Amino acid sequence: MTAMPKVYTEPGYAALYRSGELERRARWLEDRLASCDICPRECRVNRLENEMAFCHSGYLPIVSAVCAHFGEEPAISGTRGSGTIFFGNCNMRCVYCQNYQVSQNWRKQESKTMDYHTLAEKMLYLQDELGCHNINFVTPSHFVPQIVRGVLEAVPLGLHAPLVYNTSGYDSPSVIRELDGIIDIYLPDLRYASDKWAWKLSHAPGYVPHAREAIREMYRQVGDLAVDESGVAQRGLIVRHLILPNGLAGSQESLAWVAQELSPTVTVSIMAQYLPMHRAPQIPLLSRNILLSEYEEVFDLLSRLGLENGWVQKMEAAESYVPDFEREGHPFCS
């Protein structure tokens, strides 16, 4: 990995709070819940009245776990961990999801709704009591209005840590535009290069154009990754790409898009942690781990495309990245 620029600035959301713009955006996003178009599905149910559709989520956010996470990229976890808030449910249905216990078991998530003041207090707990480097919103796409409202509550309580938007990539570009100046670090997946496989494996229609346009907007907002004097991320984009068996992720096309349509200076995180979980063991194309040849092909691709910033997971590390949301405590706490 090549050196990244170092920077330290006040988080943008602090200035937006002082100007009243943060409150305006919170209200505007919340109004959109009345006929929900927060993610690409545009289900148009009234979530303000707790009507539910694909994501099985109403008005209040669902929080499945809150902890210091030491398994993210080095620039995100640092030495003190990433202050991670795992949201329940999801706007995708990945048949191989490692977080399926909280993303696809919505009946168990019904009791985990959280009011906004408590959500704000959780952010302060991660920042002040646990000393985490950032606040990391995991699976945020269906809860963007709730996240912005929580940040609005947290700023006067002393929130100042960088905010990480840790997403599958299945986001509405118009909603991502509303996060300009609020989110400091975007951490999207680029899962597929084929809408056929996005539909078959994740039930996500139009994934490729939505993810690419959303990621393009993220890059416009925050640019290349910038770190502080300790190498911890303060601002910027990191694109994650999970290697899937049998080329189902379309790695060559996806990474070529990053290099050619965004920039070869974009930081990428190549994930080799695929394990056949959830429904994958019953699907022949997904029922095995990735092969060394598949791993090496993607590794070589980075050099050919000139993508030099970022990280590549070791194949043998896959088992250590599997969470268990049903065990005592939190899934990634040390």
Per-residue model confidence as pLDDT tens digits over 160-211: 999 999 999 999 999 999 999 999 999 999 999 999 999 999 999 999 999 9
Tokens 């670090």 -> residue: 185
Distance between alpha carbon 228 and the CA centroid of its chain, in Å?
21
Q: Is the pLDDT of residue 255 over 90?
A: yes
CA angle 197/143/71 to nearest 5° reads 70
Coil/strand/helix, residue 169: coil
Bridge partner residues of 84 (DSSP): 67, 136
113-171 residue pLDDT tens: 999 999 999 999 999 999 999 999 999 999 999 999 999 999 999 999 999 999 999 99
Domains located in the chain, CATH noted: 12-320 (3.20.20.70)
293-334 residue pLDDT tens: 999 999 999 999 999 999 999 988 766 666 666 665 555 554
Q: Rounded to whole angstroms, what are the CA distances from 62 to 42, 57, 139, 146?
A: 19, 8, 11, 10
Query: Which one has a higher pLDDT value, 10 or 266?
Result: 266
CA distance 149 to 199: 32
Terminal Cα-to-Cα distance of the chain (whole angstroms): 26
CB crowding 165-175: b at 16 or more within 10 Å, else e: bbbbbbbbbeb
pLDDT of residue 10: 84
H or E element that contains 149: helix 144-154
**Lowest-pLDDT range of 7-11, 61-65, 75-79, 288-292:** 7-11
261-290 residue pLDDT tens: 999 999 999 999 999 999 999 999 999 999
pLDDT of residue 334: 42
Query: Which one has a higher pLDDT value, 285 or 4?
Result: 285
pTM metric for this prediction: 0.94
| Mean pLDDT (the chain, rounded) | 93
